[in-house]
A and B are shown apart, each in its own frame.
Chain A
Amino acid sequence: MTLGYPDEENFIKFIKGAEMLGSDIMEIGIPPKYAKYDGPVIRKSYSIVSKRVKDYLALLKLARKELTIPIVILTYLEEFEKNLDEFLEELKSMEIDGVLFPDLLIDYIDNYEDYYKRIKSHGLKAVLFVTPTVPDSIISKVSHLSDIFLYYGVRPTTGVPIPIVPSALVRRVRDLVRNKLVVGFGLSTDDIREVILAGADGVAIGTAYIEKIEKEGVSSALELVRGLRGILDEFS
């Protein structure tokens, strides 16, 4: 969920509710200047919160207090590259669990190991993000390095319903991944069943919640959390 979306109060309401309704991990997005791999919906949420939220870190602190499930921060390395250590230290001091930089293995592939070590050296978990354009050899090489799970973003961008065959994409990598595999990026309800059947261990949902909040408010978004939890539970 985008940090502070749609406003501070409703953001807290949503994440607390989501935890109660069965979200296992909360991924919180800090708006970057250039959300390279995010689609129109998340971009819009970023632009809304950048106008409304005055103090991101204070809000994040509050979120930490309200949640018991792990919090993983999602933002772009490009944005924080210059003050990376400060940023990571700040997160650690707030007892954030880990970070996920979707651009790490794409735009920083030549020295991803250095960044990986830096994340770990601050005592944070490093959640790695791969896409279908990451070659098999690299997926095999990095999958077990990822903490908590390996994130597999199956569309080129979030929230644009590009037609893909999610199950085919999951099947391609499933045997290469020695870790829990979490699939995300624009998944529909049908996609969720399909990827779980194809071997995914979990799903990441963002755009769908933001759209619900935008159109119908937090309660509807929480209904969606409940519904999706139900789908996952069909398989457990």
Chain B
Amino acid sequence: MVKNDEIFPSFWYNIIPDLPKPLPPPRDPPDAEFSRIDLLRTIMPKEVLRQQFTVERYIKIPEELRDRYLTIGRPTPLMRAKRLEEYLKTPAKIYFKFEGATPTGSHKINTALAQAYFSHEEGIEHVVTETGAGQWGTAVALAATMFNMKSTIFMVKVSYEQKPMRKAIMQLYGADVFPSPSDVTEIGKKILTENPNHPGSLGIAMSEAIRYALDHGYKYLVGSVLDVVILHQSVIGLEAMKQLELLGEEPDVLIGCVGGGSNFGGFAFPFIGHKKGKRFIAVGSEEVPKFSRGEYKYDYPDSAGLLPLIKMITLGKDYVPPPIYSGGLRYHGAAPTLSLLIKEGIIEWREYTEKEIYYAAKLFMQTQGIVPAPESSHAIKAVIDEAIRARNQNEKEVIVFNLSGHGLLDLTNYESMMKRWG
């Protein structure tokens, strides 16, 4: 029996040195009244920023942090979806990496823990972030408490009202959770004076979180998109590579869903960089059509325009995504590394409608028992399509996907979908 700490890696993997082309660096906008790159320096933990900009292929995971990763249950299981294979009558083998097995229910904890650890090492006592649907906020709340820090989470007001359970978990972990727009920052107060019933948005929540961190000398943690986040998420792919190796399997197709690109990148990049796997499929939402309609250009990663411009596939920072249930996929862009690999034709993409992913999710629940997060169900839909293609071509392929989170806190969403589509 191989021990957990042999499967869990000692190093994170960064794909940038192995990309086919130079990754365009972040920029300050022309005629900027302040330097966004300089702002990063004030709001992010130093070591996190250092990792973002000190591009090395492998970065050692500090021992104490490694220990915390093991404490929360890493490595997560790599499981075979045997009943789904049987149902689809496919000769392909389907494996999935189950990130829903972490205490917070998604991959987000992988970078939250790392960023919290480095904040703590720097002597920081309080971290701040924003959250839309609540997955990221939950991860930060747990990570902060694991390193004896306080956390403040600005949660988009509609979610705060509609997802009381997410709020409750964060509070149980010890976080202060404010509905955004809130009355604890000038930005929030101003918006509330103009419209006391403002539903909030991720952009506003992010501005509030950054402002709050600046005002109090706290640090701000970033949930996706930035290279350093994908670096931390590489534990997913590195573990999966090892687990497949132990099973004696060579992967053919690797699949993951994309909001900002962190779970996909964390899962697929180690395979791409180590020349394992033949095809890579990034799956987005058809309702947020960044892959089919987005442009590859410099844009702000945040709708508030506080962070430096990065080059990515984007629908524009002012794009307002429709209210789909997969909150984590309601994002206008895709991480720069992922965007570049898509542009270079190394990664393929798919987009599916909410109705399509609902049926895929339901099939997965009924064959495998796991309730997937609606975000992850996008990957499942692509897996089903690929398994059917393999059946039609009679190919004995190995399909591996990242099940980025469980959906047990999304049951009201599934219930609404069930009412609409049966």
Contacts and interface: CB of A to CB of B under 8 A. Distances in A.
B18 A135 contact: yes
A132 B23 CA distance: 9
B38 interface: yes
Given A33-B30, A157-B28, A162 B57 contact: no
B19 A135 contact: yes
A37 B27 contact: yes
Contact of B41 (A132, A136, A160): A160
Contact of B21 (A130, A135, A156, A164): A135
A138 B21 contact: yes
Contacts of B50: 163-165
> What does DSSP make chain A's interface, helix, strand, loop or mixed?
loop
B41 A134 contact: no
A160 B22 contact: no
A176 to B, nearest CB: 10
B394 interface: no
Contact of B25 (A131, A135, A136, A168): A131
A172 B17 CA distance: 9
A106 interface: yes
Given A131-B25, A132-B53, A163-B46, A40 B18 contact: no
Contacts of A197: none
Contacts of B54: 132, 164-165, 168-169
Contacts, number: 89
A103 B126 CA distance: 39
A157 B309 CA distance: 12
A172 B55 CA distance: 9
B25 A156 contact: yes
Contact of A172 (B25, B35, B53, B56): B56
Given A156-B53, A163-B50, A133 B38 contact: no
A135 B20 contact: yes
A83 interface: no
Contacts of A125: none
A34 interface: yes
A109 interface: yes
A227 interface: no
Nearest to A165: B54
A39 interface: yes
Interface residues of B, number: 29
B41 A161 contact: yes
A37 B26 CA distance: 9
Contacts of B56: 168-169, 172
Contact of A133 (B23, B49, B308): B23
> What does DSSP make chain B's interface, helix, strand, loop or mixed?
loop
Interface string A151-176: 00001110011111100110010000
A160 B41 CA distance: 9
A107 B309 CA distance: 14
Interface residues of A, number: 31
A39 B40 CA distance: 13
B37 A133 contact: no
B27 A133 contact: no
A169 B55 contact: yes
Given A40-B35, A164-B54, A138 B22 contact: yes
* A133, A156, A161, A164: residue with the most chain B Cβ atoms closer than 10 Å: A133
Nearest to B57: A172
B41 A162 contact: yes
B27 A36 contact: yes
B196 interface: no
A27 to B, nearest CB: 19
* B17, B20, B56: residue with the most chain A Cβ atoms closer than 10 Å: B17
A109 B26 CA distance: 17
Contacts of A157: 25, 27-28, 35, 37
A157 B39 CA distance: 13
B25 A162 contact: no
Contact of A134 (B22, B27, B35): B22
Contacts of B21: 109, 135, 138
Pairs of residues from A and B, 7 with the lowest C-beta to C-beta distance, nearest first: A132-B55, A133-B23, A134-B22, A34-B30, A163-B50, A135-B19, A156-B25
7 contacts: A40-B35, A132-B16, A135-B17, A156-B37, A160-B37, A160-B38, A164-B54
Given A165-B50, A169-B56, 9 more contacts: A34-B30, A37-B25, A39-B38, A131-B25, A155-B53, A156-B37, A156-B308, A161-B41, A162-B37
